[in-house]
Structure 1
């Protein structure tokens, strides 16, 4: 269900493009802005000629910055445009000052030139697929969820008000005194563009949170996902995946068999009696490690299994 966001002061910021021209970033920072979004690319053949100066200038003035891509969904698929964005300024780096990249997808501004409607002549199903392809490619490359910039009316019309993008932060465009109704995928906005221009250079924006939360969005903690399966009464698998943006080190997987069984085999792990301990020295972004644990039940019936602990995550694998 869509929600209604409440207006809040938030943390101020700006967005700029080639059309903004040269920016006095010192003035932007002294005026209270804490972040800036800079257009990097459009389609697969345009790169903002002022991008390097604007992006570097924002960082030099101490602002947290992020790059955005203006989508042209009728020209090429989402993955191709994500690639172009990543190669031309949109790649996320772990420097504590870089926000996840933005997919700017909104009304077609070139209707007179390309002859397409506001949805670029894509069906709602094809548009959702296009956005999924872009955001999937970006996540695979960076470990970050791309921010989506859009309007509620465009989202409702051109995606059928899709609810498929809950994990992507929302940058809502709505000029006025409050953000208003949100698209169906989101219960809250992360950024809000409230005006095309104002006291600061470029578009006027706010972050829906504290400055410390803004910094955490630029530099989130490591993220590990744990999954497992009981393949039968004797064989269990546990997979540890690095699904975040940072490498993780010294991951410990500890397990204990229950139901009257003991561990008899666990390649790459130490085990004794009912206990097993597996360790991973390092998992780079996107890497995973799978362990297979074999047990010997003392009885042929009844519930058996493994209790697995990885950090604060606890997982119970059962078999009958």
Structure 2
């Protein structure tokens, strides 16, 4: 983006948002990205012009906050747009975890309010080469850059339950990460000014957002969401996400773990199991059991937490296949032992 860069003289600017006509986005939903440099924004005009989402510059490095962030971020929401914050990376100044924390503490966190997109990590060519003496990759090796990106995105995921969106160009990604394939879980916001998105970095098979121009008919940069408006809303507020795993530790001991890997607390989880192979359940802490059946309930599982259940059985024979069938929601596990 290179918007609102912190080391340049700040000049008050009024955004030009009064152009006539409704923004058009081929095969997608139109939106904008703005920063301190965009100035005061008439968000009602953006909404009337067809804008459905906005990305707002929040932070840079660990020492810059957009002074207009609250007004721009809140103004977009008040006009009915969904909005997200972005962090302009300075990988040579501090590690990824430190910059993620600064972003999270200064507007970049995600909340389940139906209007907030996951935060964005903006990584692109170093715009300060003449000042910091670093190359386009901020002086980092490919290995160190990938580590930096992993530290930032991991910290953001831990704090919010969401995967940070990554804004980048294909050429920068190829040069500075070695075209890393390690970030497929993070939605891609591709920067390529022109009529087509073009080739994508190897981590992604599709882009989620596309910045096609530095300026458009609305405020700030011209962007499009690659999908329908309902899919955009699903990105804003996704469903709960639970991971279920299990193992037969022996012929008489079975373990099931339920982990909340999504952004929301999950309520009223039911874990039901039934032993097979001529055995019955004889021990199941925190659960009810009778004969071959066992039932466990979790009133609420907070985001990022997990709960583990252990079941002990008594087989009626010493040989042959035994096990348990376990159901958690739509997930079915068969745990076998011999």
TM tier relative to shorter chain: over 0.9
Equivalent residue for 1:38?
Answer: 56
Equivalent residue for 1:300?
Answer: 318
Equivalent residue for 2:39?
Answer: 21
CA contact (8 A) 1:25 1:61 kept: yes
- 1:209 aligned to 2:218? no
**How many angstroms apart in 1 are the aligned matches of 2:65 and 2:57?**
8
User: Which runs of structure 2 are paired with 1:154-233 in the superposition (5 Å)?
Assistant: 154-233=172-251
TM-score (normalizing by structure 2): 0.91
**Match for residue 307 of structure 2 among 286, 289, 294:** 289
State the Cα deviation string for residues 295-319 of structure 1 (Å, max 9, x = none).
1112222222111111111112122
SS of the equivalent of 1:181 reads coil
**Match for residue 53 of structure 1 among 48, 67, 71:** 71
**Match for residue 274 of structure 2 among 251, 256, 262:** 256
CA contact (8 A) 1:12 1:32 kept: yes
Name which of structure 1's ranges 7-16 and 180-189 shifts more when overlaid on structure 2. Answer: 7-16
**Match for residue 294 of structure 2 among 255, 276, 284:** 276
Q: Which runs of 5+ in 2 are unaligned?
A: 1-24
State the Cα deviation string for residues 134-180 of structure 1 (Å, max 9, x = none).
11100111111100000111111111111111111000000000101
SS of the equivalent of 2:333 reads strand
Q: Which runs of 5+ in 1 are unaligned?
A: 1-6
SS of the equivalent of 1:309 reads strand
**How many angstroms apart in 2 are the aligned matches of 1:119 and 1:297?**
62
- The two structures, once aligned, show a CA RMSD in angstroms of 1.0
Pairs aligned (count): 314
CA contact (8 A) 1:146 1:169 kept: yes
**How many angstroms apart in 1 are the aligned matches of 2:323 and 2:172?**
50
Structure number with higher relative contact order (C-alpha < 8 Å, ≥ 6 residues apart): 1
State the Cα deviation string for residues 206-243 of structure 1 (Å, max 9, x = none).
00000011011101111111111111111111111111
State the Cα deviation string for residues 60-117 of structure 1 (Å, max 9, x = none).
1100000000000011110100000000000101000000000001111110011111
**How many angstroms apart in 2 are the aligned matches of 1:34 and 1:233?**
56
Moved over 3 A (4+): none
SS of the equivalent of 2:90 reads coil
Equivalent residue for 1:71?
Answer: 89
CA contact (8 A) 1:234 1:297 kept: yes
User: Which runs of structure 2 are paired with 1:308-319 in the superposition (5 Å)?
Assistant: 308-319=326-337
**How many angstroms apart in 2 are the aligned matches of 1:258 and 1:188?**
45
**How many angstroms apart in 2 are the aligned matches of 1:151 and 1:254?**
48
**How many angstroms apart in 1 are the aligned matches of 2:181 and 2:321?**
39
**How many angstroms apart in 2 are the aligned matches of 1:319 and 1:77?**
46
Name which of structure 1's ranges 308-317 and 41-50 shifts more when overlaid on structure 2. Answer: 308-317
SS of the equivalent of 1:100 reads coil
**How many angstroms apart in 2 are the aligned matches of 1:206 and 1:110?**
28
**C-alpha displacement of 1:9:** 2.8
SS of the equivalent of 1:180 reads coil
**Match for residue 139 of structure 1 among 152, 157, 162:** 157
**How many angstroms apart in 1 are the aligned matches of 2:314 and 2:337?**
13
